[in-house]
Amino acid sequence: MIKKPVTIKLRDGLDARPIALLVQEASQYSSHVYIEVADKKVNAKSIMGMMSLTMGEGDEFTVVADGEDEEAAVAGVERFLSEQK
């Protein structure tokens, strides 16, 4: 299991379109991928779960991945949140 703190660098934060793209990114991996914010832990492959989070540019959370491609999963989610405009 890998846990990595990530800061959102998306200018408009996570609204519907970036969340849908983030779910697609997380779904590419066989590992279980979660987003932890405060006391919430949400499956990053669940559009409804991700929509329940309100996160904006500069907000911090933890990406958690567990499985055979966990390193790639964490790196992919972090890259998505760092490079999208």
Per-residue pLDDT of the chain (85 residues; tens, 9 = 90+): 999 999 888 776 677 888 999 999 999 999 999 999 988 999 999 999 999 988 888 889 999 999 999 999 999 999 988 775 4
- 47 membership: H or E segment, kind and range: helix 47-51
> Residues 38-70, buried b or exposed e (16+ Cβ, 10 A)?
eeeebebbbbebbeebebeeeeebebbbeeeeb
DSSP 80: H
3-state secondary structure 54-74: CCCCCCEEEEEEECCCHHHHH
Q: What pTM was estimated for this model as a whole?
A: 0.88
